[in-house]
């Protein structure tokens, strides 16, 4: 390719759409990734079942406090950095380029793991629901591949189209959970008890487990900065959306978990959760209201999963765009459509999803792994493997990234003293970083439990090992770039700064292609 051709492609590539998203849109994107109905139906019951504690509602509030501390420095740093790579750019500018590249690969692995893992639960839920209601048996993976097509179409269109679709779905999720909360307080077989709000229920032996299982419910909260380049006013829109999202999510989850305990009864919620799992919400609604309402909520549960799938797909596409723009990944990923969508990254994420889903489908069905591993429970194969393995891996990686980003805030503002308080630039990010790092260690220590394993096996080490391996490979790749392509290395984490992209990068590409020193 000639230098002239490279210049033409750079000049005419429109980049991400600008001034498109306001506070409501970004807030909805963040909440969609957290999947409120999925968390209340699945996450809350799992937390009660595994921890055996009534402290789950207060656990959500404690995690919200930790993430608010994280957001203090995170959003302050966001006023100086507007980059679709978010964590990648923050870590690169705060802790150094090698750690930034390492973090970028952890982000790619984590967001892809979260997104593809959710496909397993999505396909399972549709397959089971249709068989129960229509007697129509269908492979779970058929619905996954159809969903991948829909997600891909939305992913290559304007981001505000995704925001509108997700906005409708999230609104319906909230209505469904609020209805469940009302019914729970109406039923209250043991009265409206505050037993689940007793601090003694939280600050006991189960505290670590409550935090480990609860933090996954907030994954996606940090994604506001990913849309910074598409925000109407990045320096104000993203911080407001981030604070608003964590407040809404934290309070909503805590209140709904308390309502759950009241609706089933504090003395029964742990045992009922252990016996029924995520179906507990829908069984309860069938008993208290009607089959029709329970079926509508099941459908909304499925659309909740779809909303999360779209949100994580968008996150991966924008990470690939940012990394391609700065030369960390192949430059082809930097291309966007006329509407400003990162179509190259979107297509890449779609291909990744297809390959991984096909691998699980072939292994489980064609090669008989589902029957061999689970016997009579083989129908749960996509949930017990694909969903459980990948989403827990993704959550672990994102917690590690948030810990790195918290410490990056301190490093960033140490180079830029003045203007902001020590609370914003040192104290809050340090406390958040220590707590998040501790949470990451607890996740690793409890990984067999998170995977539902009685004894550790290969997956216990391979899955979190993927996160560590991605980080190490990223570090090594950064040092290769520093030696082989120092001009590109200098742009890492700085892709949207004046002069950091465009003319300089065109010159770099031209130098490399003409063989000049």
pLDDT tens for the chain, residues 1 to 517:
334 444 444 444 555 555 566 777 777 777 777 778 888 988 899 889 888 899 999 999 999 999 999 999 988 888 888 766 678 889 999 999 999 999 999 999 999 999 999 999 999 999 999 999 998 889 999 999 999 999 998 888 765 566 677 778 888 888 999 999 999 999 999 999 999 999 998 988 888 888 888 888 887 776 666 676 666 776 777 788 888 888 888 999 999 999 999 999 999 999 999 888 888 999 999 999 999 999 999 999 998 898 889 888 988 988 898 888 888 889 888 888 776 778 889 999 999 999 999 999 999 887 778 888 878 778 888 988 999 899 999 999 999 999 999 999 999 999 887 788 999 999 999 999 999 999 999 999 888 988 888 888 898 999 999 999 999 999 999 999 999 999 889 888 876 654 444 433 333 333 333 333 2
* DSSP codes, 469-496: HHHHHHHHHHHHHHHH-HHHHHHTT-TT
Residue 29, SS3 per DSSP = helix
Q: Is the CB of residue 222 less than 8 Å from the CB of residue 74?
A: yes
Q: What are phi and psi of 21, to 5 degrees?
A: -105, 135
* Helices (H), ranges, 188-268: 199-202, 207-215, 234-264
Measured CA to CA, the distance from residue 77 to residue 33 in angstroms comes to 22
- What is residue 497's predicted lDDT score, i.e. its pLDDT? 52
| C-beta pairs of 352-359 under 8 Å, 24+ apart in sequence | 352/112, 352/116, 352/316, 353/112, 353/115, 353/116, 353/119, 353/148, 353/151, 353/313, 354/145, 354/148, 356/116, 357/116, 357/119, 357/141, 357/144, 357/145, 357/148, 357/386, 358/141
Q: From the CB of residue 298, how many other CB atoms can be counted at a distance below 10 Å?
A: 23
Measured CA to CA, the distance from residue 470 to residue 472 in angstroms comes to 6
CA-based nearest residue to 108, from 308, 323, 310, 305: 323
**pLDDT tens-place string over residues 243-273:** 888 888 899 999 999 999 999 999 999 999 9
Measured CA to CA, the distance from residue 94 to residue 407 in angstroms comes to 8
What residue has token string 């779609």? 350
Handedness of CA 357, 361, 363, 369 (dihedral sign): positive
Residue 307 CA, distance from chain mean position: 12
**pLDDT tens-place string over residues 432-485:** 999 999 999 999 988 898 888 888 889 899 999 999 999 999 999 999 999 999
Q: From the CB of residue 153, how many other CB atoms can be counted at a distance below 10 Å?
A: 12
Q: Which two tokens stand for residue 445?
A: 């220590």
Measured CA to CA, the distance from residue 54 to residue 60 in angstroms comes to 12
- What is residue 223's predicted lDDT score, i.e. its pLDDT? 67
Measured CA to CA, the distance from residue 42 to residue 44 in angstroms comes to 6
- What is residue 16's predicted lDDT score, i.e. its pLDDT? 55
- What is residue 123's predicted lDDT score, i.e. its pLDDT? 94
pTM of the model: 0.84
- What is residue 289's predicted lDDT score, i.e. its pLDDT? 93
Q: Which two tokens stand for residue 233?
A: 């006013």
Q: Is the CB of residue 86 less than 8 Å from the CB of residue 71?
A: no
Measured CA to CA, the distance from residue 131 to residue 149 in angstroms comes to 23
Q: Which two tokens stand for residue 489?
A: 């290395």
């Amino acid at each position: 390719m000639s230098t002239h051709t490279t210049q033409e492609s750079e000049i005419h590539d429109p980049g991400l759409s600008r001034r498109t998203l306001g506070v409501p849109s970004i807030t909805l994107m963040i909440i969609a990734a957290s999947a409120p109905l999925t968390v209340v139906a699945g996450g809350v019951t799992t937390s009660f079942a595994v921890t055996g504690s009534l402290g789950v509602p207060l656990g959500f509030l404690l995690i919200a406090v930790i993430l608010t501390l994280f957001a203090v420095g995170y959003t302050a740093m966001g006023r100086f950095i507007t980059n679709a790579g978010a964590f990648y750019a923050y870590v690169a500018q705060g802790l150094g380029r090698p750690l930034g590249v390492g973090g970028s690969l952890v982000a790619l692995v984590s967001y892809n793991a979260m997104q593809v893992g959710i496909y397993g639960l999505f396909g399972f839920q549709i397959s089971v629901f249709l068989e129960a209601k229509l007697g129509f048996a269908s492979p779970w993976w058929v619905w996954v591949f159809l969903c991948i097509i829909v997600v891909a179409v939305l992913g290559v269109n304007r981001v505000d189209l995704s925001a509108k679709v997700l906005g409708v779905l999230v609104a319906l999720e909230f209505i469904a959970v609020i209805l469940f909360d009302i019914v729970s307080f109406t039923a209250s077989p043991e009265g409206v008890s505050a037993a689940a709000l007793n601090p003694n229920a939280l600050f006991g032996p189960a505290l670590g487990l409550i935090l480990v299982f609860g933090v996954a419910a907030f994954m996606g909260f940090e994604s506001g900065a990913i849309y910074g380049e598409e925000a109407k006013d990045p320096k104000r829109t993203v911080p407001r959306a981030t604070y608003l999202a964590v407040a809404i999510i934290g309070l909503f989850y805590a209140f709904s978990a308390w309502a759950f305990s009241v609706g089933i009864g504090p003395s029964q919620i742990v045992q009922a959760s252990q016996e029924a799992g995520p179906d507990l919400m829908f069984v309860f609604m069938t008993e208290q209201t009607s089959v029709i309402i329970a079926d509508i909520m099941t459908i909304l549960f499925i659309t909740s999963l779809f909303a999360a799938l779209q949100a994580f797909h968008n996150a991966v596409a924008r990470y690939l765009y940012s990394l391609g723009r700065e030369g960390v990944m192949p430059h082809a990923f930097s291309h966007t459509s006329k509407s400003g969508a990162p179509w190259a990254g979107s297509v890449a994420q779609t291909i990744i999803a297809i390959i991984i889903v096909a691998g699980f489908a072939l292994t489980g069905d064609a090669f008989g792994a589902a029957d061999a591993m689970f016997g009579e429970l083989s129908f749960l194969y996509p949930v017990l493997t694909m969903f459980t393995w990948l989403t827990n891996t993704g959550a672990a990686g994102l917690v590690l990234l948030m810990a790195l980003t918290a410490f990056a805030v301190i490093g960033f503002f140490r180079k830029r003293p003045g203007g902001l308080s020590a609370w914003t630039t040192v104290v809050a990010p340090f406390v958040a970083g220590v707590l998040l790092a501790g949470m990451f260690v607890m996740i690793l220590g409890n990984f067999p439990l998170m995977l539902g394993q009685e004894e550790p096996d290969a997956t216990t080490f391979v899955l979190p090992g993927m996160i560590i391996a991605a980080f190490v490979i990223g570090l090594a790749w950064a040092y290769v770039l520093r030696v082989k392509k120092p001009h590109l290395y200098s742009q890492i984490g700085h892709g949207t700064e004046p002069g950091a992209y465009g003319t300089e990068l065109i010159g770099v590409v031209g130098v490399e292609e003409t063989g000049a020193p």
